[in-house]
Every structure is written in structure tokens, then in C-alpha cells.
Structure 1
Amino acid sequence: MTKMAEQPLKILLVEDNPADVRLLQEFLWDVTSAQFQLIPVEQLDEALEILKQKSFDVILLDLSLPDSQGLETFLKMHLQAPAIPIIVLTGLDDESLATRAMQQGAQDYLIKGQVNGDLLVRCMRYAIERQRVEEALRQSEERFRVALKNSPIIVSTQDKELFYTWVYNTSPGFVDEGIIGKRDLDLIAPDQVQRLLEIKQRVLATGVGTREEVSITTAQGTRYYDLTVEPLRNEAQEVVGITCASIDISDRKLAEEKIREQAALLNVTTDAILVRDLENKIIFWNRGAENLYGWRAEEVYGKDATELLYNDELPSEVGTALLTVIAKGKWQGELTKVTKTGKEVLVASRWTLVCHQDGSPKSILTVDTDITEKKQLETQLFRTQRLESIGTLASGIAHDLNNILTPILAVAQLLPIKFPDLYPEHEHLLEILEDSARRGADLVKQVLSFARGVEGKRMTLQVKHLIKEVVKIVKQTFPKSVEVVMDLPQNLWTVCGDSTQLHQVLMNLCVNARDAMPNGGTLTITAENLVIDENYARMHLEAKVGSYAVITITDTGVGIPPEILERIFEPFFTTKELGKGTGLGLSTVIGIVKSHGGFVNVYSEVGQGTSFKIYLPAAQETETELAQELEPLAGKGELIMVVDDEPAIKEITKASLEAYNYKTLIASDGIEAIALYAQNRNHISAVLMDMMLPSLDGITAIRTLQKINPKVKIVATSGLMSTSKLAEAATVGAKTFLSKPYTVKELLLTLQKVLNT
């Protein structure tokens, strides 16, 4: 201990006995070679005054002074200089007093008369230690200041009564003396301070820190803070106050509020809006996207958009769109995408490249509009327009052909008269010429039937008599492997028409049905009365509001592929082998039906069969019956689950039911229907189930619902009403069958019947 600190050791000696002062002074001189500065005082008050002006490394304190005695002497000195180490001096007979002083914070004690080298060692040790601690504290404060420089943090300490003891604003870099000694109640309005006090008092009570967001409203506006509160402890680990750190986050909160408002606006739109990063991962998905594609936002975040929205084979248009949007910043076009259930939807898609501030690509914003229903209506319209154009063309051609065939036929009949001595082989050639001309004339007649309808003699007809005649011919001429089923109501309405032409319509459809069942099957011919309302008319472009007699011819044959179904009414279009069909059968059918003011609906499924519905305007009906039938009964708040994959039918059925006091639950396929029914089985009164559904067909879905609830009431619906379908639906538990399209009246009466059973 020969090497001293570079600065003299400053010692304050508080002792009223001059002999003890001299003894201690001489001892220190001998040991330390004058490397100290000793200032002796005799009274406590004098020492306290000196401490207000000077700082010392060590205090030697006698506990028995003229103006202060005992432990109180130490407590007063420690209160005045809490950071300076104090060594108390006491007599041999009062060592217990020194011990109590040690318990209150004294560094050590010496007994008078027993002072030795320990005095210097202890003084040096505490002084050097103090210097080390002060230097470490200074460096720590400097690091703290540098770390917080220019950061928007306000740091403060408060005692247990929540009076501020220190406040430091790091951004300007100053200690705010104006707040010290005050409380939050003195600084903030009472109605704004309550939550702040609750947070701080909870930390004081529990000793557990917390971090929360708080807001304070003043005359200047509302400010938001990220507040961290930690307990402040003494050496005994007792909570003596709190330390607070608050960051002003008002700008961030305002930005978040703006983002929430924008997100709310995005969720209002019915369009599907999504954002993908450059790795094709979804980072935004609005409610419109949830409704269109069936995926909830939390299910798609971070997922690959290609895997979610397209089938295994990616359309070439997607690659072209990606290259275009990267190169030009935007792209738009039509794309076919798939929903969660695997159903294909056609969307008008607009892509926009989103960039960073430096112009580098960041993400791709996509806005999709469902145009599936629109395209279906456009297809109907285009098909109608195409048939009308073809009809106009065919009418012109037929006129010219008639002009050509008329003289040919006349010459073929005139030549045998002019030349009676012709050889037999020449007469035979003329016969062939005449037969060919007649066949050409018949062909022209069929074309005209398609184009504008051949006006025959119109009269009031009961179509069930025509149907019975056709069924009789079919049973006599068709193969025995074709079973013919007929179902006709007694009160079928009459129509105004030409019996020969309508007979031709029925025969053409029956022959086509026979040809579609080469290995046999079931041909079903039914008829019904139907009042078409606006609801029904919206489902079909050519339908008009009014009363109709409807004839349905259904087969269980091979079915018609979708790509062929669009062309079946075009003249000369046929899938039959050469020489086995002219392609004019169905074109003649639609021509005759349209000339009678009606229209035709076709439903077909490959491998399941085809159903043609002939709608003919009714000529008369019983007024009283019609009035009764047009009064649908409202529901009593029953919940009806509608299961259909056609958006238009779902929307119209939902609106129709809710208009008549029913509640609805909508499902797009069999899987979704089962899940919804399992969740709401105690509330669903009946299920309206389409038979042809994606993912899981209607029959399988009905079987599953029967297992969940054997008493479930199900109405089966389909546009293809074959006998086998009806039988199968009834077998698995369907209460009745509703043929599409259906009117509001039919829907309500069917539900009324099912709900009352």
C-alpha cells in the first residue's frame, strides 16, 4: 500500500478531543508520507456546513460530540453526505453503538486507543473504491447519454408517493427541473390522468414492470405514448419508487389509423383485392377476396398465390401478365381462377406494380372482379344473336334454293310429257331428278322452320294429346331396350299452335334421345303448368313473365359435352356420322318453338343424360286456380340452407326466401354444406340441395346429412330431372324434387309442403 492515489486523500475528521485529533494526524503523517489532506472540526454543525462547500473522500466521525450524541450523529451526517464513506469512531465501552451505525449505512468503525495501520488501509480502500465507482458512474452516464442522444425518449423517476424526483428529456438533452417535486395530478387534467395513475400504482404494488400505450388529451390535441414502467428498488430490494420511459408515438398512431380507414374502405368493395410480394407470397387479402375465393385472410398470408388460385397447370396468360406488369407497371385481362372448393371463376383482373421510394419493385397489387355470371349471360345473348343471324342467312338461302328447285322440279315433271317415247333408263333418271328436287324442297322447308317458323294453322291445342300420340309411336318403333315413361297432369293448360309442327318437335327430341342411348335406357316425357315470374325470368335470358305449359323430354344417355352444348341448335351442326343426320333436327325444334312464342332450355351432364324443356305460352287457364296459386305463403322465420354452385341461383333464391320471411344459410358445394349443417343443425328447418355440385355431389351430401340428422328435411333440385335422379334422391331421403329453373311460387309451395310434413 505504498503507492497512493495521484490526488491527495481528502479526509474530514469530526472529533472534539484535541489529543485524539493530534494522535490520528501524526499517525497518518507517518504512514502516508503526507499524501492526504486532513481537516479537523469539533462539532457536527460545523462539519455539516463544510460539507455544503467541499467534497471529501472519507469522513472520520466521532459519535459523541458537544452538539450531538450517539446514533443520531451518524444519521445526520449520512443524510447530509450519503455518497461519502463514513468511518465512525467510538470508545471501547460503546462498540454496540458503532455496530448499529454500521447497520444504518456506515462503512466501518474504529475504537479509540486501538488505532493502527488498519486506519490508513481502510481510508485508502474506501477512497480509491469511491473514485473507481464515481469514474464508472461517470462513464456509465456518458454511455447512457450517447445511447439516448437524439432519441425521442423521456426518462423519469418517481418516489412511492409518485412525486417526480428526476426527469430527463433525451431529445433536447436536458434535465427538466420544473417537473421535479410535482405529481401527474399537478400536470395533467384529472379526467386524463386516471389510467396513467392506475398503471404506476400497479407497478408500485406488485413490483412487476409493464409496457402499455397511453393517450393524453390537452388543448393542443391528443398525443400517444409508448410507456414502460419499472419498479425502483433500494439495496434491500425494496420498492422505493418507479422509473418511467415514454416515447411519443403519435405520428405512428395517426398513420395506423389512416391505414385502418383505408383497409375498411378496401373491405367495403365487393372486388377481390390482394397484394403479393415479388416472391408471389400474399401479404394483403381483403374481405372481397374472402367472399370470392373462399379463403380467410389468416389462411392465405405468406402462402404462394399461384398454388391457391390456379390449378396444377398455370395458364400462359399469367406468365404474360407477370412480364407485362414488371416491364410496364400494369396489366389487365381476363383470367380463370379457382376457389377454395375447386370451383372455377372467371375474373376481370387488373395488376399494378407497387414500388419503393427509390423506384425499385416492391409488390404487385391485384384487383379481381367476378364476371362469371356476366359471361354466362353474354354467352346466352351471343348464342341467341348467332342463331338469329344464322336464321336470317338460312332464310335468304332457302328463298334462293326454292327459286332454283322450283324450275328443276317443274322440268323433271314436264319432260316425260314432252317426250313420251323416252327410253326407260332415261325415265328413271328423270324420276331421280324429281325425287332429289323434292328432297331439296323438304330440306328448305326445315331451314325455314328454323329461321322464322313455318306458319301453319294455329288452333287451341291440348298438348297432352300430342304427347300421348308421340309416346304411342315411340313405343312401337323404338328398340325394346329403351323404356318410355310418361307423366301428365290432368289439368294441363292448353296452348295455341300448329299440331303438325309441335308433333315434329316432340318426335325430333325423342329420336335424339334414342340415338343418345345406343345401349338402352329410360326416356321420360312429362308436362306441367308453370307461371314464370321475374325471379325465374332473371335465371334465363329468353324467358318472359307469364303462364306456360312445359314439356320435358329426358334421357339417361351419354350426355352432351359443354363445348358441343353451345352449338347444338345451329343448322347443319351434327355429331352424327356422315349420312346419318342433316344437323337440322334441333334447329327446326327451336325455330318452331320460337315461332310459337316459347323457348327451350337444355340441361346435360356427360354420362348422366340430357333434359330438354319446351316452354309454350298457355292459351287459357282457370282464373280462380291461377289467383290461388299466385298467393305464396310467407314463412315464420325458418332457417333454410341453400346449397348451389351457381352464384345467380344462390343470390336469387336467398332474396326470394328472405322476402317471404325466411332466413337463409348459403353453401357452394357439398363439403361446405356438411360443415355448415353440423354447426347449425338445431336451427336449420330445411335444406335446398342441388344434385350437381363440385367437390362433393348432392347425393353424397344428402347421405351425410342423413347421418348427422336422420330427420333432416331436404328438397332436391336439378335442371336434369331424370327418373333415376328422382328415384335416387328419394331413396337417400329427399322429401321432394324441385326442377330448375323454379319460380318463387314453386319454391315457397315446395318448402311449405316439406316443412309441414
Structure 2
Amino acid sequence: MKPHLRVLIVEDSEDDTLLVLRELRRGGYHVEYVRVDTAASMQAALNQKLWDIIIADYSLPAFSGLAALELLQSQNLDLPFIIVSGTIGEDIAVAAMKAGAHDYIIKGNMARLVPAVERELREAQERYKRHSAEQAFRESEDRFRTLCASAPLAIFQTDAQGQLIYSNPLWYDISGFSEQQSVGYGWIQAVHPEDRTEVSQDWQRTVLEQSTWVDEYRLLTPQDEIRWVRALASPMYSTERRFLGHVGTFEDITDRKQAAQKIYEQAALLDISIDAIAVCNLKNHILFWNKGAERLYGWTTAEIVGRNATLLLGKNGETSPSFAEIQAILAKEGKWQGELQQVTKDGKDIIVESRWTLMRDEAGNPKSILKVSTDITQKKQLEAQFLRTQRLESLGSLASGIAHDFNNILTPILATAQLLPAKFPNLDENSQQLLEILESSARRGADLVQQILSFTRGVEGSRTLVQVRHLLSDIAQVAHRTFPKSIETKTDINPNLWTVFADATQLHQVLMNLCVNARDAMPDGGILSITAENLWIDENYAQMYGNSEAGFYVVITIADTGTGIPSEIINHIFEPFFTTKEVGKGTGLGLSTVMSIIKSHNGFVSVHSEVGQGSSFKVYLPSREATETNIVTNTNLPSGNNELILVVDDEVSICEIAKTTLETHNYRVLTASDGIGALALYAQYIDDISVVLIDMMMPVMDGSQTIQMLQRMNPDIQIIAMSGLMAYEPHEQKQSLGIREFLAKPFTAQVLLNTLHEVISEIG
């Protein structure tokens, strides 16, 4: 049984109506119908209910099929309309179809009625579905456009070639470009000129690869306003996986960028602060850590954030006052200020002046603690040193008084020793010798008292020509007699040592300070070496020591085989009050006094040290004794043959001086400031480098390690080592490391060129 069928029949003949109904029922339909024969009755029927189909006679006395069709069309109703007539001709039928009728049937051929009805019902159903889909699409499109128009993001769509085919109004507001300016590739013109090439290339790559596009860049509006946008686009595909283009969004992130820039600038201000700035939660766990804190404590932000500040920075994991005590003050007053004893990452004790502020949230509840700490360790040390210096001044005053009384005691002794030979001319030889010893000892005592008075009063003595050889002999005797027996004193003093124009008392003080430091560096014993030699310093040599001048010098070397000086503090040892000795065992003034005195004599001091190997202090004093005939000139210095030399030294001045010297004498030079750089350069020029000139003492990778790595690269490598510590068995070191020659720093151009010439000659 076919479904229920509601039929509106436009017919004036009852018989013809029954004929139509019989055919429909014969076709299996349950028919509900109304017959009308005027326009008014048809309008009333259309208003009364919904119909499935309309079957109309072509010609009626007061109405017609075409008129009925026009009435139906005026109501915008899409119903199947079939004309049934006994008189219609083919031309009339065609006209009816053109007017909108769906089919026509001759009353003499009613067998076509049911198939025509079935067909038209199906087509009407399809039209309904299609219309519904189109209506739904239009509604969806309207919703999409409404959504896009009100979206907080600029939305766009491109075709498969990457050209813009749609964008919502927000894009025009952000970019300042119109729709006509934006379509196609026009949107790229909105990109800031400095970013345009990069953005265009990245977009073209995205189109070619049919991939997702994510980018942040600047726009330049027609009003010359710069805006930052974040673009995101995803590829679109058809159901057949055909690439259709991209759909995506532009987000205006100008405010976010400006806020981020402001935060960055504020963070930069915090980072350039010399104070350590930290933020901790209420349990003292670190939340923020600026660069000043990294510099002071040695902990990086990544290492320390989230850790407990008391356990990490407190001495032995505690602070005084305790965190609980400070927290109680913060809760009551909102701030606290005081001194804290803390430790750095490498275990160094420091003292900080710390200012804590309790931070609250919008509701006024405590949320964190802001800490600003200033390193006052040096200030505290200076205060302590100042008090110790005052005690030294008092001691100096006491020493002056003792010296005065001691002079009073020595005066009659010396006078008696001089008078006795005249009073007793017949004394035996032994007695006369005893009197001479007495007089000599009294004079030495008087000279010693004079030195003490000169030092304690701080008065510069007169300068005369001084033979340093005698001072060194006295110093060596004092060291031999007074230093522990576990320390062996060795001397090597040129018998023809030149004289210097100096204050003998001050030089005596310099040498004693250096020897006492050497003694303290050898608590378990060792060798104290005291050497002196004459030296002509050329321009290259002098440049290694700043403002020094070329000329004749007496060089005094005080060396020990003690503990050595760590590289991280060797640049501070001549600073006033700097000391590594325990409280009460050193003032920190010894080496600063040495430097001050030698500079006042137009000389200079160099130091070379290695932890566990010892230290060597060289004192250079200008001499006026030598004549111009002693000057060493460069006229006979050997030159190279365009060989390539690699110079490795962490002292830039030494690298530059060696480079200048060698290039002046027909060598090519490469320089490296550390072992890593030396290895890289040697690997690059391994077939061209003839000799490597390398310092034995460098940070990170020292000379020995670098030489071993170089020898792995080339077992036949030619090495000339440089060192300021040449007293420590260089022969054994040469053999163990395969070193051809050693150069003692500082060296003259003559020594450098002769040594290099000898090594290269042996290679050839």
C-alpha cells in the first residue's frame, strides 16, 4: 500500500474527478482530496492545509490550469503540478511546461497518471531536500559570517596558490588595509618592510609544503603605526584529499609585546643592579633570582629556583637571626634589615647587608618576601684591617721607643769597644779580635735600629748607589739563621752585579717581605732560591710590563717550592689588605708595600705561580752603571724563512709582542689565548705550522694538557715552552712532555729569535 496522498484537484467535471481518483486508488494510494473550480476556492484550499500534489484540468469555464499554476507560484509553494486535459495539443502542453507545470496527461491515456505522480513526488522530495540543504548552507554561512564579524581574531582563507580570498573585518581594522588592497598577495604589503621578505618566504614554503604556518611579525599600517601580529594557518582538504588552501587567524599581540618589552626592561634593570635581588615564598623557597644574585652567590637561576634559601646560603645551613625570627618581624612591621653571614656556591664566606620586604596580594594577604642584599664583605674586612693598622701604628710607636732606648744602650758599648784598644795597647791578638767583634756587632745593631726607625716612622730615606749583592747576602744569612731548618736557602748572585740608585732600607724591606712570604708558603719545608743577574731589556720585553722602559736592569728573583698561588686570586695579591693568611698572621700590606716601593724606584715586579709547585717573584730595578757599549741591538738577530709559528698564551700582551717580533723577522704568526683555541688552530693548519710557542700556565687547559693533545695530533710536533717558573726541574719536564726548549719569562727578542732559529735549524 502506497502512502496517504493529499490531492488538490482543479476540475469542474465530477466525472473527470472520479476518473482521476480511480486511477490513483488503482495505483495503491489512499487519497484525500478537495475539488475546486475557481481561484477563490483554490486559494481557500491552499490556506486550509498542506497538499502533496495538484492535478488541474487545462480548461475550466471560470478558471484554467495555467491560472491555477500562476496562483500556486504566487504563494511560493513548491508542489508538483500536473495538467490533465482531453483537448490539449502539443504546442499548448509545451507552453504549460514552460510556464512551470511539471507534466501533462491526456485524459485518453490515464495510465500515465500514477507513474507521473510517483515521479513528481520523488522529484518534489529531492527538491525539498536540496532546498533544505541550500537553506541550511545559507544559514550556516550567515552564522559563519556573523561569527567571523564578531570574532576577537582576524580570520582569513586562501586558495591553493596561497592567495587571500576572504578575511573578516577585524583584519582591516588591524592592518589598516582595505578588502581590495588585501586580496591575492596584497596582504603581504601590510607586513613591515624589515620583516616582509622573511614572512613572504616562510608563507610560500608553507603553501608548497601544504603545512601549518605559525609566525610572529610586525605590520606597518598606512598611518605608520607598527603592530605585532601572531599568524596561525592550517591546510584545508576536500573529501578526496585535494588541497584547497589554508584557513587561519591573525591575532593582534601588540599590547602583549609591549607588556613583555616592559617586563624585559624591568628585568634588565634588576639584572644590571649590583645588588642581589631575590623573591621567596613564605617558606623561604626561592622564586626569583636576578643576575646580581648570580654574580654574588655563584648559583644560576636554573640551579637555585625552588630551593630553600636558608639551607643553601646560610652558614652551616643556618642564619643569625634565624628565618623564624625575621619572619616574625616581617609579620609585625612588614620589613626587616640587618647583616647576614652567608656562603657562596664555592664555599666562600661572605657578609651581606640584607633588606627584606613582605609582599602582599590584592586582598592584603602575605604572599612573598622581596630580598635585596649588598655584599659588604670587603667593607667589613677593611674595617677590621683599619683596626689592625691602628694596632700596627701603636706597635710602631712602641718600636720607636724601644729603638731609642736600644740606641742608648749601644752607644756606650760602641764607644767602649773603640776606646779599649787605646787604653790597653798591649792586648794580645785574641783580645783585640774580640774587641773588633764587639765593635762590629755594635755597629750592626745600630744599623738595624736605624732601619727599624726608618720603617716605623714612615720616612723615606736617602737614595744612593746601592750594591744589591751585599743586601742579598745579608738577607740570605738571616734566612739561613732564622727560617726553619726544613727550608734550604740557595743563592745564585752574579759577582759582577750592577749597582742601583735606591734606598737601601726600603730594598731591605722589599726583600725581607718576599722571603718571609716564601717561608710561609713552605710550612713543610722546601727550597728558597735567591738569585740576581744583570739584564738588558729591549722594547719588546718592556711592553710586556705596561709602562716600563727599555734599558739596563738588575733582576732579583725570590722563588720558593711551596703551595703556590691559585689563579683566581693571583691578580689580587698586590692589593692593600688582601691576604690569604689567618687573622693575626698577616696584615695584607706586605706585597702592596713591595709594589709601592719598587714602582717608586721606577722598577716593576712580576710573579708566576703554580698551585703545588711554588711561586717566583722577580724584582726589576733600573741600573745606571752599564754603558752604551753593553746595548744589544737587533742587527745580528736571526730571521726566519716565512715559517708559520703558533703562539699560545692567555696574556694578550705577550701574544701581541711575540707576534710583532716574529713578523718583523720574517715569520708568519697565529695566536691563541687558551688551549682549546690552540688545538682548533693547529688542526686547521697542521701541515703548515713549524713550531708551537706555548705558555705552561693557562686557565681551563694548561700547557701540559695542551701539549699532550697536540702530540696526539702530531707526534713530531716541535714545542717551545714558556714559563715564569724555570727553577723547577725543567729538564725532567722537557723529557716527559717532549719539549724542545724552554723560555724563561720575560724574554728578550734576542733570546726568542735565537731559540726559535736553533729549533728550526735542527728540524731542517
Shorter-chain TM-score: which interval? 0.5 to 0.7
Alignment partner, residue 255 of structure 1: 258
Change (3 A) 1:3 1:536: farther
Q: Tell me the secondary structure at the aligned position of residue 723 of structure 1.
A: coil
Q: Work out the percentage of aligned pairs sharing the same amino acid.
A: 23
Out of 430, 452, 458, the residue aligned to residue 447 of structure 1 is 452
Tell me the residue number matched to 1:37: 51
Answer yes or no: is the 8 Å Cα contact 1:550–1:614 preserved in 2: yes
- Give the drift of 1:405: 3.0
Task: Note if contact 1:450-1:589 (Cα within 8 Å) is conserved in structure 2.
Answer: no
User: Deviations along 1:657-688, whole A, 9 cap, x unmatched?
Assistant: 78888765433xxxxx2476247632596766
8 Å contact from structure 1 (residues 450, 587) kept in 2: no
Match of 1:403 in 2: 404
Q: How far did 1:348 drift?
A: 11
Q: Cα–Cα, structure 1 residues 505 and 457, in superposed 2: closer, same or farther, change >3 Å?
A: same
Extract unaligned runs of 5+ from structure 1.
78-87, 92-110, 418-432, 579-583, 668-672
Bigger mean CA offset, 614-623 vs 520-529: 520-529
1-structure distance, mates of 2:256, 2:160 = 31
TM-score (norm. length: structure 1): 0.55
Residues 745 and 739 of structure 1: CA distance in aligned 2, closer, same or farther (over 3 Å): same
Aligned partners of 1:320, 1:163: CA distance in 2, in Å? 70
Is the 2:679–2:709 Cα contact (8 Å) retained in structure 1? Answer: no
Selected match of 1:666 from 651, 655, 673: 673
**Displacement, 1:219?**
2.3
CA pair 146-656 structure 1, distance change in 2 beyond 3 A = farther
Q: One-letter code of the match for 1:37?
A: W
Q: Once the 2 structures are TM-superposed, how far is the Cα of residue 550 of structure 1 from its aligned partner?
A: 0.7
Is the contact between residue 271 and residue 289 of structure 1 (CA under 8 Å) also seen in structure 2? no
What's the counterpart of residue 153 of structure 1?
153
For the 8 Å contact 1:494–1:619, the answer to whether it is kept is yes
Give SS of 2:729's match.
Answer: helix
The residue type equivalent to 1:219 in the other structure is P
2:222 is matched by which residue type in structure 1? A
Matched, 1:550 2:555: yes
CA drift of 1:345 comes to: 13
Q: Pick from 720, 727, 743 the counterpart of residue 722 of structure 1.
A: 727
1:655–1:719 distance in 2 versus 1, CA, 3 Å: same
Aligned to 1:108: none
- Separation in structure 2 between the aligned mates of residue 466 and residue 703 of structure 1, nearest angstrom: 43
Matching residue of 2:249: 246
Query: What is the 5 A alignment of 1:556-571?
Result: 556-557=561-562
Distance in 2, matches of 1:638 and 1:294, equals 42
Paired residues, number: 659
Q: For each residue in 1:42-74, what CA deviation from the matched residue of structure 2 results, as whole angstroms up to 9, or x when unmatched?
A: 99x999999998766787999xx98999xxx99
SS of 2:556's equivalent in the other structure is strand
| Whole-angstrom distance in 2 between the partners of 1:141 and 1:245 | 19
Task: Provide the secondary structure at the position in 1 that maps to 2:684.
Answer: coil
Q: Distance in 1 between matches of 2:350 and 2:638?
A: 36
Instruction: Write out aligned runs for 1:688-707 (5 A).
Output: 690-692=695-697, 697-707=702-712
1:519 Cα offset (Å): 6.4
2:223 corresponding residue in structure 1:
220
Deviation of 1:356 (Å): 11
Return 5+ residue gaps in structure 2 as ranges. Answer: 11-15, 35-44, 59-65, 84-89, 106-111, 420-437, 664-668
User: Which structure's CA Rg is the greater one?
Assistant: 2
- Counterparts of 1:584-599 in structure 2 under 5 Å? none
Measure the CA separation in 2 of the matches of 1:284 and 1:3.
84
Alpha-carbon distance in 1 for matches of 2:441, 2:93: 147
The CA deviation at 1:732 is 1.6
Q: Which amino acid aligns with 2:402?
A: L
Q: Which has the higher contact order (CA 8 A, sep 6+)?
A: 1
Alpha-carbon contact 1:454-1:592 (below 8 Å) kept: no
CA distance in 2, matches of 1:344, 1:390: 27
**Contact 1:280 1:305 (C-alpha < 8 Å) held by counterparts:** yes
The farther-off stretch of 543-552 and 743-752 is 743-752
1:279-294 paired onto structure 2 within 5 Å: 280=286
The corresponding residue for 2:679 is 677
Deviation track 1:213-235 (CA, whole Å, cap 9, x = no partner) reads 57664522355554455566666
Change in 2 beyond 3 A, CA 1:474/1:316:
closer
Q: Which amino acid in the other structure matches residue 616 of structure 2?
A: S
- Pick which of 434-443 and 550-559 moved more: 434-443
For 2:269 and 2:512, locate their aligned partners in 1 and report how far apart those are by CA, in whole Å.
56
Mapped partners of 2:642, 2:69: distance in 1: 93
Quick one: distance in 1 between partners of 2:718 and 2:82? 99
Query: How far apart are the structure 2 equivalents of 1:500 and 1:305?
Result: 57
Q: RMSD between aligned alpha carbons? A: 8.2
- Matched-pair contact (CA < 8 Å) for 2:548–2:603: no
Relative to the length of structure 2, the TM-score reads 0.54
- 1:190-589 correspondence to structure 2 within 5 Å: 210-212=213-215, 217-221=220-224, 223=227, 225-229=229-233, 242=245, 244-249=247-252, 251=254, 255=258, 258=261, 280=286, 302-304=302-304, 397=398, 399-409=400-410, 441=446, 443-448=448-453, 450-451=455-456, 458-459=464-465, 461=467, 484=490, 486=492, 494-496=499-501, 516=522, 523=529, 525-529=531-535, 531=537, 545=549, 547=551, 548-557=553-562
How far does residue 728 in structure 1 lie from its aligned partner after superposition? 1.8
Q: Distance in 1 between matches of 2:413 and 2:707?
A: 67
**Cα deviation, residue 696, structure 1:** 5.3
Amino acid aligned to 1:666: S
Q: Per the alignment, do residues 364 and 553 of structure 1 end up closer, same or farther by CA in structure 2, a change over 3 Å counting?
A: same
- Say if 1:183 and 1:50 are closer, same or farther in 2 by CA, change over 3 A: farther
Per-residue deviation, residues 535-567 of structure 1 (Å, max 9, x unmatched): 979969xx865643112132335668999x979
Q: Which amino acid letter does the alignment assign opposite residue 709 of structure 2?
A: T
